[in-house]
A and B are shown apart, each in its own frame.
Chain A
Amino acid sequence: MNDMRIVERDVNANEIKIKGDKVQVFYGENHAIKDVDIEIEDKKVTAFIGPSGCGKSTFLRSLNRMNDTIDGCRVEGTISLDDEDIYDKKVDPVQLRARVGMVFQKPNPFPKSIYDNVAYGPRIHGLASSKAELDAIVEKSLRRGAIWDEVKDRLHDPGTGLSGGQQQRLCIARAVATEPEVLLMDEPCSALDPIATAQVEELIDELRTNYSVVIVTHSMQQAARVSQKTAFFHLGNLVEFNETGEIFTNPKDPRTESYITGRIG
């Protein structure tokens, strides 16, 4: 069976990276995510859209178990990464998060130098055995984050001194440095101005060649611009999940249609 899948993967571009099966998320008494089934493909950008409070961020955070840090949060059903249940008792969230990186709504560089910000992940995971290797990883990551040219001369300045857009790209570079397979982005552009947003969106499109990217956004235009697949969440339910073009031009569900035409939100 395993062999078969390997063969299948080589030929099939629509390889499934993350699969959610009847996922329920509770915050104490509050049932935040109800019965979500989803298949997220590799090397594609998947966008989660929906009105605020619909659970899209909650679901995103449950994909790398960031929800564990919140008291009283409980996940039922199965979410699997490469067919391994990430909520299995044997799974260490630390190892999981090394493979499923995350970029947050507000740029959150550590109060360290730019270099140390990017080197943080490789250091804790032991990815580099020498200084030269670490330098190489940092440079590669900053290039992937499309910020290398802007910071290469001041790698040892504090990361907090950069502009908002630069900070967010630094955070993306930082997330990329640990060589994740999946990159989760929680409204990465909501704190940025339009120019910085455009830069980050361009970057997301480039990242697709190496990673599976999942992005939560409240901007439908952004979803249309950067994603190949779009999931529409409403009141904790996954209402519709389809090719992005399909969702925006030919929504199946009346709720999706009202949302994208601006009647609910």
Chain B
Amino acid sequence: MLVLWFFVLLIALCAVGYVVGRSKASASAGGDLSTLHSLLSYHGWNVALSTFMAGTLAIVLWSFISSFFEGAPTIVGVGIAALAALAVFVLSYGRISRDYRARNFVEGLVKSLLIGASSIAILTTVAIVLSMVFETGRFFTQYPWQDFFFGATWSPNFRGNSDLGMLPLLWGTLYVSFIALLVAVPIGLFAAIYLSEYASSRVRSVAKPMIEVLAGIPTIVYGLFALITVGPMLRDYFAQPLGLGESSSSVMTAGIVMGVMLIPFVSSLSDDIINAVPQAMRDGSLGLGATHSETIRQVVVPAALPGIVGAILLAASRAIGETMIVVMGAGAAARLSMNPFEAMTTVTVKIVSQLTGDTDFASPETLVAFALGITLFVLTLGLNVLALYIVRKYREQYE
């Protein structure tokens, strides 16, 4: 609350700074404004921005430093920040004169703000890594890492002595993702080929947005679709008659629904990539008397192959990191099984269940979520970097 009031006052001070900065500059010009180096408003902004940044910087620094000392009162920090802001206010006000290069100074400040904004991207990554590394470290002091990475049993126990082997979760994740890709890659690829090579512009203008709508639908909707429609349907028409299982949540349910979710992802990426193949290649093949499909299969797709592989890797990374569909469609039982109609669970499902449970935060049962999180992060990051690298190389080839 104190901090909030501090910012209200700081902004008020900045407003005052803008007004007095302008008027002092105006006075220093002695009536002829054209003698000023910078426009009046720059002198105003100079005071206002400097003050604001000094105050904000001070409070951020304070909150960072104070986090190392127990019980440092906020009022001290706010006081220091207020002093800093006032000092800068006086300093920047004092510098105003006819020849003062206010515009250059303000632009420098703005540029540093812009740099600050861009560094948030880096900070986010650092925060992601830090937030998981420390807790993972704590987890591995309580639970041996070999058992985590290579353990084949997952049975967390409220009273401790849990088996927290990651393999069943990883297996579930990969199995679901595999089925999802099995659905999404052929459908997405063929849809992209049809839409970019065959469809008339009228068909394309209807069908393409419809497929892209699938990408705009939140995953929770797919999750519900898996839960109330696809799951029961698969159970009633496939699993039960074939004697393969009784559960409506299964690897198949989650995989198929996730595959549908990935169709637009694969198709729009492949579409871009196929369109990047120069028309000259198609002409060359058609000119030799190849049919359209021969041209696509033997010239266009091989030429686009690196890009398509990149797109598939990106889709795989999506599938591995997807949460809601598996939470609602795959089940919660950690199992190493080949039967796709059985409920299995994934890394993301367990992150959710371990972190939303009631267990003590310092217990290995909760901390394991961070170890799972970092595994997931590293896995998807690896796929993304590889995919982006391949796609970039591919694009350079045709530029």
Q: Do chains A and B touch in the complex (CB under 8 A)?
A: yes
Residues of A within 8 A of B (CB): 64, 66, 69, 71, 94-99, 101-104, 106, 108-112, 120-121, 124-125, 171, 174-175, 178
**Is the CB–CB distance between A108 and B278 below 8 Å?**
yes
B282 in contact (CB, < 8 A)? yes
Task: Give the one of B201, B283, B288, B302 with max A CB within 10 A.
Answer: B288
Partner of B283, one of A94, A96, A101, A108: A108
Residues of B within 8 A of A (CB): 200-201, 278, 280-291, 294, 298-299, 302-303
Question: A125 and B303 in contact (CB under 8 A), knowing A71-B201, A108-B278?
Answer: no
**Is the CB–CB distance between B303 and A97 below 8 Å?**
no
When C-beta atoms are compared, the residue in chain B nearest to A99 turns out to be B289
**Is the CB–CB distance between B289 and A171 below 8 Å?**
no
**Is the CB–CB distance between B288 and A69 below 8 Å?**
no
**Is the CB–CB distance between B288 and A106 below 8 Å?**
no
Q: How far is the CA of A106 from the CA of B302 in the complex (A)?
A: 20
**Is the CB–CB distance between B278 and A97 below 8 Å?**
no
**Is the CB–CB distance between A171 and B284 below 8 Å?**
yes
**Is the CB–CB distance between B287 and A120 below 8 Å?**
no
B residues within 8 A CB of A103? 287
**Is the CB–CB distance between B289 and A97 below 8 Å?**
yes
B residues within 8 A CB of A171? 284
A residues within 8 A CB of B290? 94, 120-121, 124
Give the shortest distance, in Å, between B136 (CB) and chain A (any CB).
44
Q: How far is the CA of A104 from the CA of B279 in the complex (A)?
A: 11
When C-beta atoms are compared, the residue in chain A nearest to B200 turns out to be A71
Enumerate the 6 nearest inter-chain pairs by beta-carbon distance, A residue then B residue, closest first: A102-B287, A98-B289, A97-B289, A108-B280, A108-B284, A121-B288
Give the shortest distance, in Å, between A97 (CB) and chain B (any CB).
4
**Is the CB–CB distance between A97 and B302 below 8 Å?**
no
A residues within 8 A CB of B287? 64, 66, 97, 101-104, 175
Q: How far is the CA of A105 from the CA of B351 in the complex (A)?
A: 58
**Is the CB–CB distance between B281 and A125 below 8 Å?**
no
Question: A69 and B282 in contact (CB under 8 A), knowing A97-B287, A111-B303, A124-B294?
Answer: yes
Q: How far is the CA of A64 from the CA of B278 in the complex (A)?
A: 21
**Is the CB–CB distance between A174 and B282 below 8 Å?**
no
**Is the CB–CB distance between B288 and A97 below 8 Å?**
yes
Give the shortest distance, in Å, between A43 (CB) and chain B (any CB).
21
**Is the CB–CB distance between B289 and A95 below 8 Å?**
yes
Give the shortest distance, in Å, between A33 (CB) and chain B (any CB).
19
**Is the CB–CB distance between A178 and B289 below 8 Å?**
yes
Q: How far is the CA of A104 from the CA of B201 in the complex (A)?
A: 26
A residues within 8 A CB of B280? 104, 106, 108
B residues within 8 A CB of A101? 287-289
When C-beta atoms are compared, the residue in chain B nearest to A72 turns out to be B201
Q: How far is the CA of A260 from the CA of B281 in the complex (A)?
A: 34
A residues within 8 A CB of B282? 69
B residues within 8 A CB of A111? 281, 302-303
Q: How far is the CA of A18 from the CA of B289 in the complex (A)?
A: 18
Q: How far is the CA of A175 from the CA of B287 in the complex (A)?
A: 8
B residues within 8 A CB of A108? 278, 280-281, 283-284
Q: How far is the CA of A106 from the CA of B286 in the complex (A)?
A: 15
Q: How far is the CA of A81 from the CA of B200 in the complex (A)?
A: 30
Give the shortest distance, in Å, between A48 (CB) and chain B (any CB).
17
Partner of A94, one of B278, B281, B291: B291
A residues within 8 A CB of B200? 71
Q: How far is the CA of A178 from the CA of B291 in the complex (A)?
A: 14
When C-beta atoms are compared, the residue in chain B nearest to A98 turns out to be B289
Q: How far is the CA of A106 from the CA of B278 in the complex (A)?
A: 11
Task: Give the one of A64, A97, A110, A112 with max B CB within 10 A.
Answer: A110
When C-beta atoms are compared, the residue in chain B nearest to A175 turns out to be B288
B residues within 8 A CB of A174? 284, 288
Give the shortest distance, in Å, between B290 (CB) and chain A (any CB).
5
Give the shortest distance, in Å, between B196 (CB) and chain A (any CB).
13
A residues within 8 A CB of B294? 124
Give the shortest distance, in Å, between A136 (CB) and chain B (any CB).
19
A residues within 8 A CB of B284? 104, 108-110, 171, 174
B residues within 8 A CB of A66? 283, 286-287
Give the shortest distance, in Å, between A217 (CB) and chain B (any CB).
18
Give the shortest distance, in Å, between A172 (CB) and chain B (any CB).
12
Task: Give the one of B200, B282, B285 with max A CB within 10 A.
Answer: B285
B residues within 8 A CB of A120? 285, 288, 290, 298-299
Question: A110 and B289 in contact (CB under 8 A), knowing A71-B201, A120-B298, A124-B294?
Answer: no
